[in-house]
Amino acid sequence: MQEEQNLVHRARRGDHEAFAQLYENHFDKIYRYVVLKIGNRAEAEDMTQQVFVRAYESIGSYRWQGIPFSAWLFRIAHNQMVDFVRKASKKRTVPFDESLPVLSDSDPEHEVELKMDVEKVVSATRQLTKAQREVISLRFAGGLSITEAAKTMGKSEGAIKALQHSAILTLRKTLLVGEQGGR
Amino acid sequence: MGGNKQFNAILDECLERLLTGHETVEQCLQRYPEYVAELEPLLRTAVMMNKAVDVKPSADFRARARFQFQSVMAESKSPGRAAVFVPRWAVAVCAVLLVFVLGGGTVVAADGSMPGSPLYPVKLVAENVRVSLAGSEEKKAELYAAFADRRITELDYLVTNGKSANMEAVAQRLSRHYTMMGELPLAQGTEVVATSSPPTPMLGTSGISGGDTTEQGVVAAGNKSVSDSSVNGRGELKKLLGYYAVTQPQRLQQLLDSNKVPEAAKPALRRALWASEHGYQQVLDNLDK
């Protein structure tokens, strides 16, 4: 945490290397978060880049006052996502992308199995409320702690825990129905 | 309710250990045998989800993104430069010095300068001073929008006159105007400082769209929207920003669609186009709150 605080401090003073380090530290998490929210790889790639360009342009306005840098970064991502979804809903529906993101496991059989899971999970999260979906995306894809997720969403830790519980419950039901329907 | 709270806390504790690889589902269940029936299906679902969302960006995208981001950093002198806090008194002192050292006429002349001209930096400093001394957030929004219009006119001028060297820097500056505008805290209840009549935003000065793109023509049109611009109340401001929200992205799109823009400058222009749509959406949303 202290190290990140130093990096942010240096980045605000114009240190490109410090910002590049923050970029490397958070790139994968932001990408995963965006993939889970959008479900479309090409859009997720563009969006991930935009999040960092935006963060770079706005770093001067960031103050370390109880809000971790990651929470600030995910807020930017969330705001861009809201904007994206609003625009997408005006133009067209956002289909789930069949070309899936590269998975961390290189075993091809495992990839097929996981591919099913990603599709299912993205589709199942569409059954959640906005807040539930946000919690799941921040916790599982973004890797944020309850405290960080609470700061990002501006809610209490208790509220985030309750949302997490109800979200997993709903996802389980949705995934089970899908499983039975698929047989 | 209390029981639910306790269960939520247990679930989260187990999840934390599971997600960080410190514990298995079985180990967690052993610690809370009284909750096995309720806990187990949730933890198994969480493990499955965690595996499913463990996606990584492709090596190709990672490399491309890193390169593009480094280019963005290289283009600008420092991150968030425009957003760094400067005390208002310091800005006022600078403004006075600017007028005394350069003379009021120089500042006025600089107002009409184009990128690449020796007076252009003076124009940018004068703009920063005006934003810093703006009496309200609404006034700042108006100024950012007007300065954005200037930047587009400058881009248009650069394209039309084949001076592509400064295009990326201008497009970057344009994106920053939109970012700053979108982040203004425009809470309901603050009144716009009223001055004179509503502005007449310029249209059709774009070289691409067939207007006058000589330096004088562009300057005259490009600066009118700033010097005349002052709005009375949030309604007027919304009308003005709504207008810019349509015309500025259109003008940027026209630039992008033209075959005069060099390839190297297109990414910065695309980012500016995206920033314009996003910035206006945000500022208009904020005004509605």
In degrees, rounded to 5, the angle at the alpha carbon of residue B225 between the alpha carbons of residues B138 and B245 is: 60
Is residue B15 within 8 A of residue B45, CB to CB? The reply is: no
Task: Give residue B192's region: left, alpha or beta (phi > 0; psi -120 to 50).
Answer: beta
Tokens of B208: 């691409």
Which chain B residue's Cα is nearest to A172? B45
* In the predicted structure, residue A131 carries a pLDDT above the cut 90: yes
Query: Angle between the B266-288 and B233-257 helix axes, to the nearest 10 degrees?
Result: 160
Q: What was the pLDDT predicted at B98? A: 61
Cα gap A134→A140, rounded to integer Å: 10
Q: What was the pLDDT predicted at B199? A: 43
pLDDT band at A61 (very low <50, low <70, confident <90, very high): confident
Is the model more confident about B206 or about A61?
A61
pTM: 0.52
Q: What was the pLDDT predicted at B133? A: 79
Q: List the 3-32 stretch of A: residues with Cβ below 8 A of B.
A: 11-14, 16, 19-20, 23, 27-28, 31-32
Q: What was the pLDDT predicted at B100? A: 59
Contacts of A177 in chain B (CB under 8 A): none
Is residue A144 within 8 A of residue A71, CB to CB? The reply is: yes
Could you tell me the CA-to-CA distances from B213 to B26, B114, B218 in Å, in that order? 73, 12, 5
Is residue A145 within 8 A of residue A111, CB to CB? The reply is: no
Query: Which of the 8 DSSP states describes residue A143?
Result: -
Is residue B142 within 8 A of residue B231, CB to CB? The reply is: yes
Q: How far is CA B8 from the centre of its chain?
A: 39
Residues 6+ apart with CB under 8 A from A9: A18, A64
Q: List the 12-41 stretch of B: residues with Cβ below 8 A of A.
A: 12, 15-16, 19, 41
CA-based max dimension of chain A:
58
Is residue B108 within 8 A of residue B202, CB to CB? The reply is: no
pLDDT tens column, A111-125:
434 444 667 788 888
In degrees, rounded to 5, the angle at the alpha carbon of residue A51 between the alpha carbons of residues B16 and B259 is: 155
- Sorted by where each begins, the domain ranges of chain A are 2-182
Query: Which of the 8 DSSP states describes residue A95?
Result: P
Q: What is the mean pLDDT of each run of 10 residues along chain B (289 residues)?
A: 78 90 91 92 89 84 82 66 44 61 63 81 79 83 93 90 83 86 72 39 38 45 46 82 93 88 83 87 86
A50 touches chain B (CB under 8 A): yes
Interface test with B, best of A21, A43, A57, A61 (most B CBs within 10 A): A57
Query: Which of the 8 DSSP states describes residue A13?
Result: T
pLDDT band at A178 (very low <50, low <70, confident <90, very high): low
Query: Which of the 8 DSSP states describes residue A103?
Result: E
The 3-class SS string of chain B reads: CHHHHHHHHHHHHHHHHHHCCCCCHHHHHHHCHHHHHHHHHHHHHHHHHHHHCCEECCHHHHHHHHHHHHHHHHHCCCCCHHHCCCCHHHHHHHHHHHHHHHCHHHHHHHHCCCCCCCCHHHHHHHHHHHHHCCCCHHHHHHHHHHHHHHHHHHHHHHHHCCCHHHHHHHHHHHHHHHHHHHCCCCCCCCCCCCCCCCCCCCCCCCCCCCCCCCHHHHHHHHHHHHHCCCCCHHHHHHHHHHHHHHHHHHHHHHHHHCCCCCHHHHHHHHHHHHHHHHHHHHHHHHHHC
Cα gap A115→A102, rounded to integer Å: 9
Q: What was the pLDDT predicted at A102? A: 42
Nearest to A104 among B16, B56, B61 (CB): B56
* Pure H helices in chain A: 2-12, 16-38, 41-58, 69-91, 108-125, 130-136, 146-153, 157-182
Instruction: Answer positive or negative: Cα dihedral of B211, B278, A22, A27.
Output: negative
Task: Tell the residue number behind the tokens 């009284």, with chain if given.
Answer: B34
* In the predicted structure, residue A155 carries a pLDDT above the cut 70: yes
Distance from CA of B105 to the nearest CA of A (A): 33
Task: Tell the residue number behind the tokens 């981001």, with chain if given.
Answer: B69
Tell me how far apart the terminal alpha carbons of chain B are, to the nearest angstrom.
34
Distance from CA of B256 to the nearest CA of A (A): 18
Distance from CA of A182 to the nearest CA of B (A): 18
Q: What was the pLDDT predicted at B246? A: 92
A100 touches chain B (CB under 8 A): yes
Q: What was the pLDDT predicted at B164? A: 79
The hierarchical CATH code for the domain A2-182 is 1.10.10.10
Query: Which of the 8 DSSP states describes residue A17?
Result: H
Give the ipTM. 0.77
Nearest to B79 among A56, A146, A158 (CB): A56
Interface test with A, best of B1, B6, B8, B81 (most A CBs within 10 A): B8
Distance from CA of B186 to the nearest CA of A (A): 16
Cα gap B124→B135, rounded to integer Å: 19
Could you tell me the CA-to-CA distances from B96 to B4, B99, B103 in Å, in that order? 64, 5, 10
Closest CA to A148 of A66, A82, A80: A66
Nearest to B58 among A12, A102, A141 (CB): A102
Is the model more confident about B34 or about A95?
B34
